[in-house]
Structure 1
Amino acid sequence: METTTYKIYSTISQLPSSWDTVASENAFLQTSYLKVLDKSAPTNMQCFYIGIFENTELIGVALAQYLDVNKLESFGERDQCLKTYVRNFVFKNFASHVLFLGNNMITGQNGYVFNKNMDFKSISELLVACADEIIKYFKSKNTKIHIVSFKDFYQHCADELKKFDFASMYEFNTQPNMIFDLNPNWKTNEDYIAAFSKKYRDQYKRAHKKIEGITNRELTWEEIVSNEERIYELYHHVAKNAPFNTFFLAENHFSSFKKQCGDRFKLVGYFLEEKLVGFHTLLLNGTVLETYFLGYDEQVQKEKMLYLNMLYNMTKFGIDNQFKKIIFGRTALEIKSSIGAAPLLMTGFIYHTNKWVDKLMPKLFPRLEPTVVWQQRHPFKEH
């Protein structure tokens, strides 16, 4: 590692010119997306961009995010009980300043990318060194980082990292990432529907019938801007009813995203009698279709099975445009499995900067993370 160095940047304008060449494999590390974070990150988030060099050549890029959980209006309003009260108290006092190495806003291994083979010993040393430097930076500003989390690794990467600097950290698995590997033989949406067993074909037909009267179409940047307040209201309704939150998007997030990423970012609006009642978003990431945030009117969602129809529509888009897989992310695991997505376990590592609290991490962490009980569905005939 003698010749490997890193540099931490706090603004996009400082990034080396070869950044996007190195990040070409991952849209969530390219400057067009990082500019979205720069211009419209959640109000309680600050981003850091890490360049990794071999001598003077940029060979890797990574993302870190600092979150001040104190600035949050709600940690998730669904579970109003003593457990929530205790969790919120603990968060405010022992875990309100959190540093993520990776992207806390999305699911998947999107924290770093290299354009050459790197051994896991070097990767683990680099990630830990970057975290230490950012902790020092905040200390100089009189802010104490409580928790450091290295987020979302595939199991084989996690196993390798554990052999080195990550060995002493608490390893955790939260909800799995729901991934739909699309069958390459499906050329049309009809092929997909034909693959369902009777029960799930009936579910598709029922959902399709329910949504009659609602139209959907992709919105232009201008339309996103003129509907921004309504889009945010629909997003915010869904976000605040999630079981657990560490951030809320900024109100201009979706228009910023469209402006920076153009055709690679799609926001599809759902209209009932000309009124916007829901939306979903997608990011085209090479051969992978990434689902992003969505929102809906609760009443319409119940009556029209809007959420399920959104999942079907995103799948149709993936098949029509011959993507290899769709990343559906965490949450709503059962309904996502009913359309064909399957769970992939993601691993994270976490430590508390207070070594006494850190010793309690194996006891504390499972109490802070809401447990999800769900049943995987198998919608296709071969099951």
Structure 2
Amino acid sequence: MSTADSYEILLHADQLPPDWDQLAQDNLFLGRAYCQVLNETPANNMSCFFASVWHENKLAGILVSQFIDLSGMHHYGARRHCFKTRLRKFALKNYASHVLFIGNNMLTGQNACAFLPEVPTSIIPALLKKAALQIQRQLKSEGVKIHLTVYKDFPQSDLLEELALHFTDHYRFEAQPSMVFDIPTAWETDANYVDALTKKYRDQFKRARKKGSDLVKRQLSLEELLNWEDTLHDLYLHVANNALFNTFYLQKGHFYQMKKILADQFLVYGYFQENQLVGFNTLIKNGSVMDTYFLGYFDLIQKEKMLYLNMLYDMVAYSIKKGFKSLVFARTALEIKSSVGAQPVSMTAFMKHENRWVHQLLPIIYKRLEPEVIWQARNPFKHTTHDLICTQNTELAHLP
């Protein structure tokens, strides 16, 4: 590919070229249908951009990007009244309120781009930079100046190695890892899972199941998602407001719109007590991988019924039963996710501030605003007997 390659910045999923899904086929989160979700139900402070890369009149690459305006954010999670939150709020509003993500800030993982196999990995970093620059120019023409550009999330791969070589002028950082549960091919039911647990964690499983035995779980239909729309949003906010830090909040009706577009690829399970919805979780079928999405619950029910842990067990059971190769639990609650068998997968991101003086201070600012978190990785299976101490930086933004 040469400098004659062209880029087209698109604002709507219905503008995507016909061959778009051929490049996105390995990742639902880059596909046309999910791009439509981003269009129709984005966060209130979010705008989405899609970029197509052309070479010799052929679609050679696709990219998903999000612009987030933090200037209007009023809630910064459970610690929003402490000094550190006030400092974070001041820094963001004055120096980083306009953030461009190359990738998806609502998800964990490499959901930024896809290219044809014949495109050399060595030139992809330059292509990403050029696409980001075009989006920045478009926003500037609308009176919006980008303060911070973030490229996320990249697991260990040839692409990450190339990004590291070409993004030396960016600050490289690792946020919380993505927690991934790899499912043995021999497992067919959750009984196989329970049999593989040590006594300690088998007892934990039994205790959680007993605590939540009077809850009724069922998959919610499209009509039920509309009927329970207010409660779903309240439950979601109960969890979101307790996050360390949020860069966005989902709109009310987000899950309804997502189900309407993705249909059977998007699942919402409700948990009921005496016919009242007290919790929910969501799953997305992404090829052979099951991805968890957002969830919600009332704190009192969660504590009494060990609801969150039961949700994790239910997600594992469903993924095993349906033959998925792995279950992506994403970020946050690292220790409890590891206690059900998920393992940390490092994710690397790169960011650059437009002000060179501020950019030089990014390593200090990032570490001061979000210090490293020490957590204990659990190993619940019989074939592994030791626990590990893990150290990770907390996430820059609210991610699932």
Match of 1:310 in 2: 311
Q: Aligned pair 1:43/2:44, yes or no?
A: yes
Aligned length: 382
Alignment deviations for residues 303-338 of structure 1 (CA, whole Å, 9 cap, x no partner):
000000000000001000010000000000000000
Q: What TM-score, normalized by structure 2, do the two folds share?
A: 0.93
Could you give the per-residue CA deviations for residues 71-117 of structure 1, whole angstroms, max 9, x where no partner exists? 22212123632111111110111011000000000001111112324
Are the counterparts in 1 of residues 60 and 119 from structure 2 also a CA contact under 8 Å? Answer: no
Question: In the alignment, is the contact (CA less than 8 A) between 1:228 and 1:251 conserved in 2?
Answer: yes
Deviates more, 1:338-347 or 1:136-145: 136-145
For 2:190 and 2:80, the matched residues in 1 are separated by 38
Q: Structure 2: where are the runs of 5+ without partners? A: 385-400
1:200 paired to 2:201: yes
Cα deviation digits, residues 268-317 of structure 1 (max 9, x gap): 00000000000000000000000000000111001000000000000001
Residue of structure 1 in register with 2:160 after alignment? 158
Alignment-derived partner of residue 364 in structure 1: 365
Higher mean C-alpha displacement, 201-210 vs 128-137: 128-137
SS of aligned partner of 1:373: strand
Deviation of the 1:129 alpha carbon: 0.8
Distance (Å, rounded) in 2 between the aligned partners of 1:167 and 1:47: 27
TM-score with structure 1 setting the length: 0.97
Determine helix, strand or coil for the equivalent of 1:78. Answer: coil
| 1:64-83 superposed matches below 5 A | 64-78=65-79, 80-83=81-84
CA distances 1:130-172 after superposition (whole Å, capped 9, x unpaired): 11111112222222111000010012332221212x1211100
Does residue 111 (structure 1) correspond to residue 112 (structure 2)? The answer is yes
- Matched with 1:297 is 298
Residue by residue over 1:6-45, the C-alpha shift from the partner in whole angstroms, topping out at 9 and shown as x without a partner, is 2110111211111112211100011111111101000000
Question: Match of 2:152, SS?
Answer: strand
- Equivalence for 1:176: 177
CA distance in 2, matches of 1:268, 1:92: 37
Whichever residue aligns with residue 56 of structure 1, its letter is N
Deviation string 1:209-242 (CA, Å, 9 cap, x unpaired) is 0001101010111110111111011001101110
SS in 1 for 2:181: strand
Match of 2:387 in 1: none
Partner of 2:64: 63
What is the rounded CA distance, in whole Å, between the counterparts of 1:7 and 1:162 in structure 2?
A: 26
Asked if structure 2 preserves the Cα contact closer than 8 Å seen for 1:103 and 1:110, the reply is yes
What is the match of residue 144 of structure 2? 143
CA contact (8 A) 2:79 2:85 kept: no
Counterpart residue number, 1:89: 90
Gaps of 5+ in 1: none
RMSD: 1.1
Bigger shift: 223-232 or 80-89? 80-89
Contact 1:120 1:161 in 2 (8 A): no
Q: State how far apart, in whole Å, the 2-side matches of 1:119 and 1:172 are.
A: 25
